[in-house]
């Protein structure tokens, strides 16, 4: 599903954000990506959905090395990856329906099909009654559900979530984790970046820890142990 | 591209316009303003050129004939003049007609001619030139060749006036080209800057669309359509504005300068010109988009 080989990323010539990161994720895996702030969690996720290019190394999604892809091919790869952001990244002048439908419109899905699928996914995340509201009329938790619905609506094989519960209280965090767990139970690979230790303790999953740009599997960050 | 995809692009365009109504109105106002200035300039240029062309139509080369000219020579001279490429019309004025015209032009004073014995006025050929004639050279070549024909006494053609006329026309063309080019670039500059502003205000939305897998094409087309739409509305508004100005100008001229009636007549654009003007507006909107999109991609 995802294979990463010897990945390096620098923002400044002397400051390495990621150093020799390699790992593999199979279909149906659920992994937490953790580490202190600035450890490179967001950078790693951005590399996985090709928002940035690495200094060196390879990222294989379903056997294809996306680091050498053109813009056009990257756009197509992103349609097979659902991404959830901490700041939701919803288009404020589009309704909940239109925000979620956007992903399907981009790939030219027929309108009737879009209506059915958007309704189904909004029901799954429990926000179907706010179909025609605008994002700024919703609470943080509701906005994050919409963002998750948008990530799920295309039935992607991979979900990448960057601190999806970062600004939310524990009750809503649990609800969002349950949604992601259910999706994962149906075979979707999930990689969730978080520095919330309570989350790691409550939901026992495989953990990747980033420290000084290096990735360690199944290890909790030192300062939190 | 299938119909469904086209529908989504149009829907996205509509949402963009509806959501950013103020920016759209500013863009439309900017393009309208530029087009009105351009339209007024074109209107002035068109009417000035028409007036000058009208004057040129009145311009004649008069060939005075010797009294001794034979019928064969006259026939051959007429044929020579008619077949010359710069001549559009040849009118023969015989001695009697010349006298008749002279009497008419004197009006009440024609009694002065009562004591005159015989008819001292020469017969003549009045040559009208084609409106395509652009320089003195063609006229001088014609005059030179007529002068060599037998039976020709004298030629009159207002050389100095014609020289001025062609100089003015040349200046008008050069100035017109310069001003048109300048206005065109200024308009594109203003329009592209307005669209840049509009891009800035939607940068987040564009980023989000890219992150969820939209291609550049999918993102750009609604903005291009928006630019074309702005251009279309602006050109229609500017045509209406220029027409309004034309309408009131004509009414004002008639009211304030009634003696000018018949001497100066203002013309509005022909339907073909109007079509061109509207297409120009639409293209300006599109071009403004392309310039700013290229800039956005570079950033």
pLDDT in tens, B53-90: 777 666 788 999 998 889 999 999 999 988 888 888 89
Percent of chain B exceeding pLDDT 70 equals 94
* Chain A residues with beta carbon closer than 8 angstroms to that of B7: 111
Cβ–Cβ pairs < 8 A, chains A and B:
60
Separation CA A209–CA A41 (nearest Å): 9
- Cβ distance of A71 and B215 shorter than 8 Å: yes
Which one of B7, B207, B212 has the shortest CB-CB distance to A102? B212
Q: If you average pLDDT over residues B170-194, what whole number do you get?
A: 79
Separation CA B73–CA B148 (nearest Å): 12
Structure tokens at B206: 């564009």
Q: If you average pLDDT over residues A161-168, what whole number do you get?
A: 86
Which carries the bigger pLDDT value, residue B34 or residue B245? Answer: B245
Which carries the bigger pLDDT value, residue A125 or residue B109? Answer: A125
Cβ proximity of B157 and B60 under 8 Å = yes
Residues near B237 by beta carbon (within 8 Å), at least 6 away in sequence: B28, B32
Strand partners, A34: A209
Separation CA B136–CA B138 (nearest Å): 6
φ and ψ at residue B62, rounded to 5 degrees: -105, 125
Q: If you average pLDDT over residues A13-28, what whole number do you get?
A: 91
> What is the average pLDDT value for chain A, to the nearest integer?
90
Which one of A72, A90, A110 has the shortest CB-CB distance to B4? A110
Structure tokens at B294: 């290229």
Separation CA A99–CA B281 (nearest Å): 33
The nearest CA of chain A is from the CA of B202 a distance in Å of 9
Residues near B187 by beta carbon (within 8 Å), at least 6 away in sequence: B31, B34, B35, B38, B284
pLDDT of residue A95 exceeding 80, the answer is yes
* Residue of chain A with shortest Cα separation from B21: A93
Cβ proximity of A192 and A204 under 8 Å = no
Q: How far is CA B223 from CA B14, B20, B23, B195, in A?
A: 10, 12, 13, 9
Crossing angle of helices A140-152 and A111-124, rounded to 10°: 130
The pLDDT tens digits of the residues spanning B119-139 come to: 888 999 998 888 776 667 788
What local confidence, expressed as pLDDT, does residue B134 receive? Answer: 63
What local confidence, expressed as pLDDT, does residue A1 receive? Answer: 82
Strand partners, A16: A10
User: Which band of pLDDT confidence, cut at 50, 70 and 90, is reported for residue A219?
Assistant: low
Cβ proximity of B241 and B268 under 8 Å = no
> What is the average pLDDT value for chain B, to the nearest integer?
83
Extents of the domains making up chain B: 3-54+165-297, 60-156
- Cβ distance of B208 and A91 shorter than 8 Å: yes
**Picking from A93-97, A175-179, B162-166, B219-223, which range would have the lowest pLDDT averaged per residue?**
B162-166
Task: Tell if the pTM clears 0.90, that is, is over it.
Answer: no
Between positions 218 and 257 of B, the ones with CB within 8 A of A are 218
- Cβ distance of A106 and B2 shorter than 8 Å: no
- Cβ distance of A49 and B205 shorter than 8 Å: no
As a residue count, chain A comes to 225
Using alpha carbons, select from A166, A159, A162, A124 the residue that is nearest to residue A145: A124
pLDDT of residue B264 exceeding 70, the answer is no
**Picking from A108-112, A214-218, B128-132, which range would have the lowest pLDDT averaged per residue?**
B128-132
The pLDDT tens digits of the residues spanning B103-116 come to: 888 877 777 777 77
* A198 touches B: beta carbon within 8 Å: no
Separation CA B45–CA B65 (nearest Å): 40
What local confidence, expressed as pLDDT, does residue B298 receive? Answer: 60
pLDDT of residue A225 exceeding 50, the answer is no
**Picking from A102-111, A187-196, B24-33, B109-118, which range would have the lowest pLDDT averaged per residue?**
B109-118
- Cβ distance of A91 and B212 shorter than 8 Å: no
pLDDT of residue A221 exceeding 60, the answer is no
- Cβ distance of B215 and A72 shorter than 8 Å: yes
Q: Which of B208, B212, B222 to mutate to test the interface with A (most CBs of A within 10 A)?
A: B212
What local confidence, expressed as pLDDT, does residue A159 receive? Answer: 95
* Residue of chain B with shortest Cα separation from A95: B15
State whether residue A58 is helix, strand or coil: strand
Separation CA A104–CA A82 (nearest Å): 12
**Picking from A110-119, B113-122, B147-156, which range would have the lowest pLDDT averaged per residue?**
B113-122
φ and ψ at residue B273, rounded to 5 degrees: -65, -40
State the architecture of B60-156 in CATH terms: 2-Layer Sandwich (3.30)
The pLDDT tens digits of the residues spanning A128-147 come to: 999 999 999 999 889 999 99
Which carries the bigger pLDDT value, residue A191 or residue B223? Answer: A191
The nearest CA of chain A is from the CA of B131 a distance in Å of 57
Question: Greatest CA separation found in chain A?
Answer: 53
Beta strands in chain A (DSSP E): 2-12, 15-25, 30-34, 56-61, 64-65, 81-84, 158-162, 189-193, 206-211, 214-217
What local confidence, expressed as pLDDT, does residue B263 receive? Answer: 66
């Amino acid at each position: 599903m995802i294979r990463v080989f010897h990945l390096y990323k620098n923002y400044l010539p002397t400051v390495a954000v990621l150093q020799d990161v390699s790992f593999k994720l199979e279909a149906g895996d659920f992994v937490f990506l953790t580490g202190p702030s600035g450890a490179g969690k967001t950078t790693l996720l951005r590399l996985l959905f090709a928002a940035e290019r690495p200094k060196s190394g390879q990222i294989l999604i379903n056997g294809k090395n996306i680091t050498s892809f053109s813009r056009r091919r990257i756009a197509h790869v992103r349609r097979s990856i659902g991404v959830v952001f901490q700041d939701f990244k919803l288009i404020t002048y589009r309704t909940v329906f239109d925000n979620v439908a956007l992903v399907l419109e981009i790939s030219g899905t027929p309108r009737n099909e879009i209506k059915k699928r958007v309704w189904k996914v909004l029901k799954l995340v429990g926000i179907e009654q706010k179909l025609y509201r605008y994002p700024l009329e919703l609470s943080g938790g509701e906005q994050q559900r919409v963002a998750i619905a948008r990530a799920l609506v295309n039935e992607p094989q991979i979900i990448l979530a960057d601190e999806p519960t970062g600004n939310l209280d524990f009750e809503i965090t649990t609800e969002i984790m349950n949604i992601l767990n259910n999706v994962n139970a149906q075979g979707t690979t999930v990689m969730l970046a978080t520095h919330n230790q309570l989350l790691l303790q409550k939901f026992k999953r495989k953990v990747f820890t980033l420290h000084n740009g290096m990735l360690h599997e199944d290890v909790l960050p030192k300062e939190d142990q | 591209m299938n119909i469904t995809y086209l529908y989504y692009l149009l829907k996205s365009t509509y949402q963009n316009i509806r959501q950013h109504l103020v920016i759209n109105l500013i863009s439309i106002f900017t393009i309208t303003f530029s087009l009105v200035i351009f339209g007024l300039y074109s209107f002035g240029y068109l009417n000035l050129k028409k007036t000058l062309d009208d004057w040129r139509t009145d311009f004649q080369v008069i060939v005075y004939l010797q009294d001794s000219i034979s019928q064969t020579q006259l026939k051959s001279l007429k044929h020579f003049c008619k077949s010359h490429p710069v001549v559009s019309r040849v009118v023969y004025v015989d001695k009697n007609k010349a006298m008749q015209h002279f009497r008419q032009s004197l009006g009440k004073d024609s009694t002065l001619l009562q004591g005159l014995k015989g008819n001292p006025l020469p017969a003549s050929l009045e040559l009208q030139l084609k409106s395509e004639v652009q320089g003195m050279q063609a006229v001088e070549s014609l005059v030179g060749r007529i002068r060599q024909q037998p039976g020709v006494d004298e030629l009159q053609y207002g050389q100095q006036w014609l020289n001025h006329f062609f100089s003015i026309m040349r200046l008008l063309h050069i100035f017109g080209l310069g001003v048109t080019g300048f206005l065109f670039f200024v308009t594109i500059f203003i329009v592209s800057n307005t669209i840049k502003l509009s891009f800035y205000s939607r940068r987040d939305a564009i980023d989000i669309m890219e992150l969820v897998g939209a291609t550049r094409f999918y993102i750009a087309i609604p903005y291009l359509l928006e630019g074309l739409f702005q251009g279309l509305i602006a050109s229609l508004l500017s045509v209406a504005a220029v027409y309004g100005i034309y309408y009131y100008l004509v009414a004002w001229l008639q009211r304030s300068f009634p003696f000018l009636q018949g001497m100066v007549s203002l013309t509005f654009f022909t339907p073909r010109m109007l079509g061109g003007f509207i297409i120009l507006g639409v293209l300006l909107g599109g071009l403004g988009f392309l310039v700013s999109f290229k800039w956005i991609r570079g950033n």
